[in-house]
Structure 1
Amino acid sequence: MSVSTPEFDSRKTVEVNGGIESVRNQIMGTAGGQVVQAGSVEEVHFHAVDRFSGRTDHDPLVPAQLPLRLRRFVGRDGELDALRGLRADSPDSPLLVVLSGPGGVGKTTLAVRWLQEMSGDFPGGSLYAELGGVNPEPASPGRTLGWFLESLGVPGQRIPAEPEHRAALFRSMTARSRLVVCLDNAASAAQVRVLLPSGSANVVVVTSRPRMTGLALDGAAFLDVEPLPEDDGLSVLEGFIGRERVAGEVEASRRLVRLCGGLPLAVSIVGARLAARPRRKLRDEARDLVDDQQRLALRVPGEEPVGAVFNASYAGLGPQAQRIYRVCSGHPGREFGVAVVAAAVRWSEADTVMVLTELVEASLLMETGDERYAFHDLVRAHARERAEAEDGVDVAVEATRRMVSWYVTRAVAADLVVHPLRTHVGPLYDVGAPQTGIFENERVAMSWFERERGNLLAVVDHAYSREWDDEAWQMCEALWGYFLRTRRYGDWIAIQSTGIASAVRCRNRRAEARLRSQLGFAYSKVGRFDDAIAENTRALWIGDEIGDQQARATALSQLGRATRGKGDLAGALAYHRRAQQACEGMGRRRGVALNRRRIGNILMEMGELDAAVAELQMAAEAMAELRDRIQHSRCLQFLGAAYQLAGRHDLAMATLGEALAAVSDAESPYYQAEVLAQLGEVAERHGDRAGAADAYHRAAALYEVVEDPKAAVMRSRSASLTET
């Protein structure tokens, strides 16, 4: 820029050699750049002013390197609150936070969002570096330090050549700074450690697929970044295609988010694709993405497919970890433990848990509990694709079958502990001796059933789909004791129906009859008495045809239960007497006692109290001798009810107290609730409102554990007795 002026005139009064002298300077014509007016000049420095920023080259450089904030940032309230809490706990101390999670989950976006939110508190600015953690050759710390030093204003010629000297200079320059640093996509703790500023008021956020647990030695805080909840995923989709389009196909939209595994990257790619095709139906997009290959190939023009983010993580694993990764993809259920994986690969559990930990550290597996693991959905799709590509379908399927067999064997072992006196059906029960010792007691066995319930149900469905029919129906038989204790009738009915289909397909008539009677039992319990009669009539016919007396006795007893449910007490009594005779003919003491108990209940309902008491007493004595605590308690419970109807209140209360004691340490909230409900009725009839209210309240809590609708009835009764 040049300045044209006719004259520049300045007067200044100065002291020269003790006197006063007037100096006049004058410039005529045109001057470009700076005009210096001086007396004696030793050295001159010129500081140019940037015409755009207004900063001179003498001003300190304040880096602002964080990526631009995304317009479509959605959710993450919990994670942001956690990060804010970390800062609030130590506002004047250095803070190092590691955000870990699978590729595409939104770690960088979350880090940038939080750091930009705090930018006003850090006058030293922000540094950002992409460390190339998933690349074959990650960024070298020395080169990154050079970039940081240059960003902080160090001239290139003054940046040391040696990495350790660069690190020392970086620490010196940040000793008194207040800045934020984002180290994105880090490869290792060692790579990060060199890049940490030294000041006491700096904040560093590291994003990484591996967990970087080594940084705990540097005082790091760790936060796992999970996929988005479904509603937040819908919001991401809305940002691309609009709220109206999502609202017009809500179920298809939700399915798309689920198919994307909640990964923001995948949802965003789907959204961008749909935005470019405004006439495309969301249900058609969802239909296409059911296929694993289609999901992993998701991409927008000019970008890598979503599967590429997993390829890099997989390539960084050792051979053993890669194998476990592939094998786990074939697990029938969502969550799994160490033992089933060890069985699939035929390793020790100690070796297996070490490799599973490596997968967790690589963010390819989630740790959902103590040595419990699960895949994110898209990661699992990638693992399954790798298994089929590298191992072949047959090898992958065989590994899954070993898992299924492991679950069936364990379920049989647990059932033998929970229901040792019951007559069982199936080849694994015929060789039950090797199963002893797996579960030390009933409590441990029931805990295992409860923990693995989702997997056991998935095993039935998966085995049926693969036509592994023996495993499918055998699992249904093994789950009888668990369902009898927990009363989860919805699951019970679903898997028994599948088990029957498997038994029919493999032509196992004995198994078919057994499962039909068990399905009929569940139908009776939910009031579907006609369905129960149909199933047990079929089971009785099969028992007659193949000469299976146990199948006949079971079907007759269940026909009695369903007929009683329809109000035909005489018909029910006849069925139970026939069932009792069949059990006597086989020498089945427990079966005889069970039918005596049921006969006693019917006689009590018919008003024949003396006969009812006699049957129930004999049943209770037999169950006590057999050491069947649950059924002993049931017999005493109904005996107590019979005593109450006969007007023998004290004996009723004593008998019910004995029934409760018999079942108090059993792993069956349902049966405990049944006794307490009966105690409440007896107490209420005797005028003990407080005792009745307490019994109903305790029964309600136990019914709620097994999700039984009787809980609401018990709550209502308890409340009515406590109202003043």
Structure 2
Amino acid sequence: MTFEFGLLGDLEVRVDGLLVDIGHVKQRSVLVALLAEQGSPVPLDRLIDRVWGEQATARARDTLYVYLSKLRQVLDIQREPGGYRLRADSVDLHRFRTLVTQARGQADERALELLDEAIGLWRGPALAGLDSPWLAEFREELNVERVEAELDRNDLAIKLGRAVLPELLKAAEQRPVDERLIGQVMLALHRAGNSAEALRHYEALRQRLADELGVDPGAPLRVLHEHILTAEPARTPRQLPAPHQWFSGRAAELTEVRGEGVTVIAGAGGVGKTALAVQWAHQHLDDYPDGQLYVDLRGFDPSGEPVTTEAALRGFLDALGESGGEVSANRYRSLVAGRRLLVLLDNARDTEQVTGLLPGNGSCAVLVTSRNRMPGLLTAGAHLVPLDVLGASEAREFLTSRLGRARVAVDPGDLSELLWWCGGLPLALGIVAARAAMNPGLPLSVLADELAEGRLDALDAGEVGANLRAVFSWSRDALSAEAAALFALLGLIPSTDASLAAIEALSDRPRTRMVLRELENAHLVHQHVPGRYRMHDLVRLYAADLAGENTEALHRFTDHLLRRAGAGALTLEPHRPLPELEPCERFSDSAAAMRWFDEEHESLLAVQRVAAERGWHETTWLLARTMNHYHRRRGRSGDELTTWHLGLSAAEHLGDKTKQAAAHLCVGLIHAQLSHSTLAQDHLARCLELHDEDDFEARAGAHRAIAWAMEHAGDFAGALDHALDALDGFRKADLPMREAEALNEVGWRYACLHRYADAADYCEQAMTLSRKLGHVECEAATLDSLAHIAHHDGRHADAIAHYHESLTRYRELDNSYEEATVLHHLGDVHAALNQHGEARELWDRALTLYLAQGRTNDATALAEVLGS
């Protein structure tokens, strides 16, 4: 059991958290007498003296035994040789005293926290309702301790610039001759700029002491009085720039700024850091009655050197009325100690530039804006507010408020295009607004066309601060030589992001990760997920201008992706070699390869386009080949068709019949899948023509593709003939992996013709060979075929078992395309068993995958089933 006691207010006793009634006044007094000893045994005579005092009778001892007996029924009280000991797990008085003692050994901020916690334990007058001479004396002792703690707390709060004047004035009404308290009132009034009122309080105290006690105030108060009389009026600096007239949005970021300590607002050039800081500062003027200091440190200004610490300090000291004399951080910190100031350090270059400008205590708040994330300040406990581009709705409101709703209403489509080109960057939006304001009659469509033709050229309003290239150049010029070189190379990347490994290949230099960290700190790149980096579109355009022609670096980037794509393709299809690529380390399993393709897909498509544009025909074809199986597993028919059209064109430029045939085959299969029957037949027929008669493997592959296309067109008999030709060809070529696949496909076509005995025979052969070879993908496909056969033979339990096993295999392979098909078929079996709930759940999951894969025909057919 736990026993908790409260003395700082009405007596409270809790046992296991529940409030307990301890009985009448005398019995509660016995408990207090025990608690006062902090766990030590209390002799019987001392208990009697504390509870009854001089009023104790001869029967007091017997009565005390009765009280103790009743208390022991509820509490843990032990009799020992030295008296009675009470076990207490928690006593608020003991906690109060411990906190006060701890506060005396701590720094100001921590000491204030501890004293606040200690004073907060008081619920009212101590031991209310209990009375005896000893209790009255004990109560007064506790009251003195409370007052001392409150006065110590007041000293610290005033020193740290906290707003405590209202509570000081209230306390002074209750203790009008407490000289230390009146001194605190006077000091707080003086520092708030109300010295006349401070002097009035001194005079009132002096008069009261003379009238009531015939004495003068003590020496400390007289010294304070003299200081206030002779001090010059404090100067209150008001250095903030005016807030931006058109400031909008940033509601979430404004709430992130802290009103104490150091807040770093960091972001790329032109993202609106200064505007945010100034807006917040003006919204909180009343929180800083001692004024606001501001300096533009010009950390990235191309017109000159950044402002030195000494120059900034001199400006601050002048603003505070302390011109002349030594210019030092110590003098500045001494001057602002205890004052409630806001210090805005704008456009800082690095931590070193601002360290000497930080106040030495917590009474001031500091805002630092920088393109650098200031890791040195963050390490020391500063709070970071990262600033990114505006969201879509904020950007629209930003531009609409500047252009005027009437002008925007003429053609809302033009506004949307302007917003798209600006990418949410406030500076870009502001330049567009400025150009529109300078030319009121200029249609917004003209500005949109200019941006489409040359975004960086269009984003130039004719002044240095309104020229996006110039603003970006300031960030670049502040970089180390290594970082500047890498930044330019990043402009070569044709996709919106890139992995660390790809960037390392691009740069071909050591320490790439460290250099990227410098670019991150400068907000020129952003690591949006671990290990992947991207730039704002406008920053990327600027970097591309710097990069120029660097074919060698672009080749390194492209070759890296091609080699990894080759490793992925070999992992997914280990039986399909890629002799054109150097041997490379494969992925650990199919799932890892699919994850890599998912992450790099956009980059792969982009580098293939670049390779095609530059005439790198071998690379273009190989990229189509290495992405082929991934596209099929993900059901990305549109992307597959695009890559293979480029691959076919590359093969034709190379004059390579084998590569042309492979491209025609893949393009034909995609057209068949998309129900473009004529195009499918043309491409597949051309594939067959390109192969020599004695190339059994190639011709078998062509027959196999034609069979699939004919099945898709509904010609099952023709599909069976070509499937048998494919099986024969693979056997002649002695390719057991292909033979296993062909056996299953022949069995499937027999099943499509309702010849289930023949179908089962071929599929069982396929299953035996697949398992022997460890060909998991063929095993999964064959299980799907066997499930279909069992379903139509009326063996529904077998069908369900086969479909579930097939699902397991496809999920191991991360083949979501075939997973969708199997889910659909499994739902059909449950529907045949009148298990409609299970069927609908499976169909819903299949439909979700169909839609994600762009399989419109399959999705439409299944949606009709679900809607019926």
Check whether TM > 0.5: yes
The aligned counterpart of 2:326 is: 161
CA RMSD of aligned residues (A): 2.9
Q: Matched residues in 1 for 2:551 and 2:394: separation?
A: 35
- Aligned twin of 1:567: 714
Relative to structure 1, the CA distance from residue 425 to residue 240 in structure 2 (aligned partners, 3 Å threshold; closer, same or farther) is same
Q: TM-score, normalised by structure 2?
A: 0.68
Bigger RCO (CA 8 Å, 6+ sep): 1
Distance verdict in 2 for CA 1:127–1:162, change over 3 Å: closer
Partners of 2:523 and 2:262 in 1: how far apart?
20
Q: Is 2:486–2:507's contact at 8 Å kept on the other side of the alignment? A: yes
- Decide which moves more: 362-371 or 596-605: 596-605
Instruction: Give 1:141's match in structure 2, choosing from 291, 309, 315.
Output: 309
Equivalent in the alignment of 1:630:
777
2:294 is matched with 128
Does the Cα contact within 8 Å between 1:426 and 1:474 map onto a contact in 2? no
2:357 match: secondary structure: coil
Judge conservation of contact 1:590–1:623 (CA < 8 Å) in 2: yes
Judge which range, 529-538 or 285-294, deviates more. Answer: 285-294
Q: Secondary structure at the match of 1:168?
A: helix
Please give the secondary structure, in 2, of the residue aligned with 1:480.
helix
Are 1:356 and 2:516 matched, yes or no? yes
2:250 to 76, 81, 87: 76
Residue 618 of structure 1: aligned partner: 765
The 1:233–1:505 alpha-carbon spacing in structure 2 relative to 1, beyond 3 Å, is farther
Q: What's 1:115 paired with?
A: 281
Residue aligning to 1:30: none
Give the drift of 1:124: 2.5
Residue 231 of structure 1: CA displacement? 4.3
* Cα deviation, residue 602, structure 1: 2.7
The residue number in structure 2 matching 1:103 is: 269
Aligned partner of 2:531 among 340, 365, 371: 371
Report the equivalent of 1:38: none
244-253 or 614-623, which deviates more: 244-253
Q: Are the counterparts in 2 of residues 693 and 717 from structure 1 also a CA contact under 8 Å?
A: no
Cα offset, 1:611, TM superposition: 1.5
Distance 2:407 2:645 in 1: 39
Query: Counterpart in 2 of 1:277?
Result: 439
Change in 2 beyond 3 A, CA 1:538/1:282: farther
CA offsets, 1:381-406, max 9 Å, x none?
22222222xxxx2xx12211221111
Per-residue displacement from partner, 1:34-87 (whole Å, max 9, x unpaired)?
xxxxxxxxxxxxxxxxxxxxxxx975433332222222223223323433xx55
Inter-partner Cα distance in structure 2 for 1:415 and 1:505: 24
Contact 1:288-1:294 within 8 A present in 2 as well = no
Query: Is the Cα contact below 8 Å between 1:576 and 1:598 reproduced in 2?
Result: yes
Structure 2 counterpart of 1:168, which letter? N
Superposition pairs of residues 34-73 of structure 1, within 5 angstroms = 60-73=234-247
Cα separation, 1, equivalents of 2:237 and 2:358: 16
| Residue type at the aligned position of 2:759 | A
Q: Is the Cα–Cα contact under 8 Å of residues 456 and 538 in structure 2 kept in the other structure?
A: no
| Counterpart pick for 1:172 among 330, 334, 339 | 334
Equivalent position of 1:335 in the other structure: 497
On the 8 A contact 2:587/2:593 being kept in 1, the answer is: yes
Distance 1:619 1:224, change over 3 A: same
CA displacement, residues 265-290 of structure 1 (integer Å, 9 cap, x when unaligned): 12221221233224434444344344
AA in 1 matched with 2:326: A
Tell me the residue number matched to 1:194. 356
* 8 Å CA contact 1:597, 1:635 repeated in 2: yes
Q: CA deviation at 1:659?
A: 2.4
Per-residue displacement from partner, 1:299-326 (whole Å, max 9, x unpaired)? 3357563211222222222221121111
C-alpha distance 182-527 of structure 1, shift in aligned 2 (>3 A): farther
Deviation of 1:707 after TM superposition, in Å, equals 6.5
| In the alignment, structure 1 residue 674 sits paired with structure 2 residue 821 | yes
When residues 296 and 345 of structure 1 are mapped into structure 2, their CA distance, relative to the original with a 3 A threshold, is: farther
Q: For the Cα contact (< 8 Å) 2:760–2:786, is it kept in 1?
A: yes
Alignment of 1:81-480 (within 5 A): 81-83=255-257, 86=258, 94-135=260-301, 137-152=305-320, 154-157=321-324, 160-163=325-328, 167-290=329-452, 294-295=456-457, 298-301=460-463, 305-348=467-510, 351-388=511-548, 393=549, 396-421=550-575, 423-424=576-577, 427-428=580-581, 431=582, 434-435=583-584, 437-480=585-628
How many Å separate the matches in 1 of 2:503 and 2:362? Answer: 46
Contact 2:456/2:468 (<8 A) preserved: no
Could you tell me which runs of 5 or more consecutive residues in structure 2 were left unpaired when the two chains were aligned: 1-230
Greater displacement, 696-705 / 336-345 = 696-705
Change beyond 3 A, Cα 1:201–1:598: farther
Deviations 1:436-493 (A, max 9, x none): x342222221111111111011111111111212111110100012112111222222
Q: Is the 8 A contact 1:128 1:182 kept in 2?
A: yes
Letter in 2 for 1:566: A
Could you say if the C-alpha distance between residues 408 and 693 of structure 1 is closer, same or farther in structure 2, counting changes exceeding 3 Å? Answer: same
SS at match of 2:812: coil
The 3 A distance-change label for structure 1 pair 246 and 547 is farther
% identical equivalent positions: 30
2:570 and 2:578 in contact (8 A); partners too = no
Q: Which has the larger radius of gyration?
A: 2
Closer, same or farther: CA 267–229 of 1 in aligned 2, 3 Å: same
- Tell me, which stretches of 5 or more residues in structure 1 are unaligned? 1-56, 88-93
Aligned partners of 2:440, 2:579: CA distance in 1, in Å?
A: 57
Aligned twin of 1:683: 830
Which residue of 746, 749, 753 maps to 1:606? 753
Distance in 2 separating the partners of 1:301 and 1:694? 62
* Cα distance in 2 between the residues matched to 1:567 and 1:316: 67
